[in-house]
């Protein structure tokens, strides 16, 4: 029988160091918001595969759809001989995407590919090359998406040089004193000092930063970006990879601002754990790329598309968008109580739906990030049956991404474990 220790030893011999693992629990099976490792240990999963499993581990409807598709067709390549599940899914995605403009979709396999294709499409449509992103952003690990990402360690260190024509702005962050005005002033200064607006193809932004620390872009800021992009002929790209499919209490976080992006990325929660990503955008923009210019061998896998169609049904039938709001409210209440008990350690609690964060500090000072405590809690949690993730450019934020199908009793059990861990480390 394999053990966690023996599997870790085997993994260390054959996996590159750069693809390490946070916990030494080798998972054998999962059900909704719970997992069991090869030794039979149980874990409450507050990570959901980094926001992939919004419908939980092995949702019966998703598994049934994938199994049925597997018996019919596993692959042909959608750009060679296409198939109905991909067409049906594209129809659904253009229907649920924010805004009233006619839209089209394309499929790839990963979120990073979706981001790269947004840049390609924006450049093709505008005839421009510059792209503006934000400090603290995370857009992927390919060369282009590393350039767009606004955090050096561990994502960019040792991997340059990166593509030219990429610029970064401060992300509005009330917690750390970066105002909307600061960000807009920096954008104007960028146009004045570094690149003229007429050479910028796109501005890409996460409505809620993922790896950056779960900071929320104020709706007014997104509205102002939309206005600036319209005035200057710049494509506005909303990176909804971690925000999407009900996670924030809307189908997509952009909806809180009431704006329509020109292009948007979709991945993670789209297909219940099957590898799939998409770009959805205004039809006139999407059609700017020439025939054959978009695609990929595994893009739009029929199995993943079938699973994604089932995911969308589950989100609607089980009212998971509304459920995200309830989960977020419950977590915020419990975490805020912990903050009141340990104000010297917990500097801020924030959420948008079930995208929840707790920022850890030293001496009650929000400007003194406590990365050591964050690392200690994340490392200790699996030993107590809980899976946590950290994030933030200061490495001092614990992010909570439970399945939107999590039962209240499991949610509270996980929070009870967290409370005990904080008490032990206080």
CATH of the domain at 352: 3.90.1150.10
Pair 26, 52 in one domain: yes
Pair 282, 334 in one domain: no
The pLDDT tens digits for 94-119 are 999 999 999 999 999 999 999 999 99
Domain that holds residue 402: 4-58+319-425
Predicted local distance difference test score (pLDDT) of residue 1: 82
Split into its structural domains, the chain has a count of 2
Whether 83 has a pLDDT exceeding 90, the answer reads yes
Final residue of a structural domain among 295, 317, 339: 317
Q: In three state form, how does the secondary structure of 20-54 look?
A: CCCCCCCEEEEEECEEEECCCCEEEECCHHHHCCC
Pair 226, 369 in one domain: no
Pair 353, 257 in one domain: no
The pLDDT tens digits for 21-55 are 999 999 999 999 999 999 999 999 999 999 999 99
Pair 52, 73 in one domain: no
Beta-sheet pairing, 103-108 with 355-362: unpaired
The pLDDT tens digits for 205-260 are 999 999 999 999 999 999 999 999 999 999 999 999 999 999 999 999 999 999 99
Predicted local distance difference test score (pLDDT) of residue 351: 98
Predicted local distance difference test score (pLDDT) of residue 303: 98
Pair 96, 17 in one domain: no
Pair 234, 289 in one domain: yes
CATH of the domain at 213: 3.40.640.10
Whether 332 has a pLDDT exceeding 90, the answer reads yes
Pair 100, 31 in one domain: no
Predicted local distance difference test score (pLDDT) of residue 426: 84
Pair 347, 419 in one domain: yes
Pair 25, 72 in one domain: no
Final residue of a structural domain among 298, 317, 336: 317
Pair 323, 312 in one domain: no
What mean pLDDT is reported for the chain? 97
The pLDDT tens digits for 272-289 are 999 999 999 999 999 999
Predicted local distance difference test score (pLDDT) of residue 384: 98
Q: How far apart are CA 123 and CA 409, in angstroms?
A: 49
The pLDDT tens digits for 370-415 are 999 999 999 999 999 999 999 999 999 999 999 999 999 999 999 9
Closest of 36, 63, 30, 43 to residue 272, by C-alpha: 63
- Exposed, middle or buried, 402 (CB in 10 Å: 0-12/13-18/19+)? buried
**Residues 28 and 34 sit within 8 Å (Cβ to Cβ):** no
Predicted local distance difference test score (pLDDT) of residue 392: 95
Pair 143, 48 in one domain: no
Final residue of a structural domain among 285, 317, 349: 317
Phi, psi of 83, rounded to the nearest 5 degrees:
-150, 160
**Residues 254 and 238 sit within 8 Å (Cβ to Cβ):** yes
Predicted local distance difference test score (pLDDT) of residue 414: 98
The pLDDT tens digits for 337-376 are 999 999 999 999 999 999 999 999 999 999 999 999 999 9
Q: How far apart are CA 326 and CA 55, in angstroms?
A: 15
């Amino acid at each position: 029988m394999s053990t966690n220790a023996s599997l870790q030893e085997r993994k260390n011999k054959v996996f590159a160091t750069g693809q390490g693992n946070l916990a030494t629990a080798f998972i054998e099976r999962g059900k909704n918001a719970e997992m069991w490792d090869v030794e039979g240990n149980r874990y409450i999963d507050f990570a959901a595969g980094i926001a992939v499993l919004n419908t939980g581990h092995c949702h019966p409807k998703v598994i049934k759809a994938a199994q049925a598709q597997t018996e019919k067709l596993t692959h042909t390549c959608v750009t060679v001989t296409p198939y109905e599940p991909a067409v049906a899914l594209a129809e659904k995605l253009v229907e649920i995407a924010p805004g009233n403009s006619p839209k089209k979709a394309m499929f790839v396999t990963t979120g990073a590919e979706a981001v790269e294709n947004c840049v390609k499409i924006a450049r093709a449509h505008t005839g421009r090359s510059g792209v503006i992103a934000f400090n603290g952003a995370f857009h992927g690990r390919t060369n282009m998406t590393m350039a767009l990402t606004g955090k050096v360690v561990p994502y960019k260190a040792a991997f340059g040089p990166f593509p030219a024509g990429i610029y970064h702005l401060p992300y509005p962050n009330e917690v750390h004193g970066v105002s909307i005005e600061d960000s807009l002033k920096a954008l104007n200064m960028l146009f004045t000092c570094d690149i003229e607006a007429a050479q910028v193809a796109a501005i890409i932004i996460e409505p809620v930063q993922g790896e950056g620390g779960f900071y929320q872009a104020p709706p007014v800021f997104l509205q102002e970006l939309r206005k600036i992009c319209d005035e200057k002929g710049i494509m506005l790209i909303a990176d909804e990879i971690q925000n999407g499919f009900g996670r924030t209490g809307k189908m997509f976080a952009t909806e809180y601002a009431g704006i329509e992006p020109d292009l948007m990325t979709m991945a993670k929660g789209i297909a219940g754990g099957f590898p799939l990503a998409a770009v959805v955008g205004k039809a006139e923009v999407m059609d700017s790329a020439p025939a054959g210019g978009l695609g990929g061998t595994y893009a739009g896998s029929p199995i993943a598309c079938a699973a994604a169609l089932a995911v969308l049904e589950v989100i609607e039938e089980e009212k998971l968008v509304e459920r995200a709001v309830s989960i977020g409210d419950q977590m915020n209440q419990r975490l805020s109580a912990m903050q009141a008990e340990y104000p010297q350690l917990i500097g801020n609690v924030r959420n948008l739906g079930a995208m929840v964060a707790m920022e850890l500090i030293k001496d009650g000072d929000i400007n003194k990030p406590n990365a050591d405590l964050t690392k200690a809690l994340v490392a200790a949690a699996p030993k107590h049956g809980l899976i946590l993730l950290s994030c933030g450019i200061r490495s001092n934020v614990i992010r909570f991404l439970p399945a939107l199908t999590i039962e209240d009793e499991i949610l509270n059990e996980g929070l009870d474990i967290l409370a005990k861990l904080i008490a032990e480390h206080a």
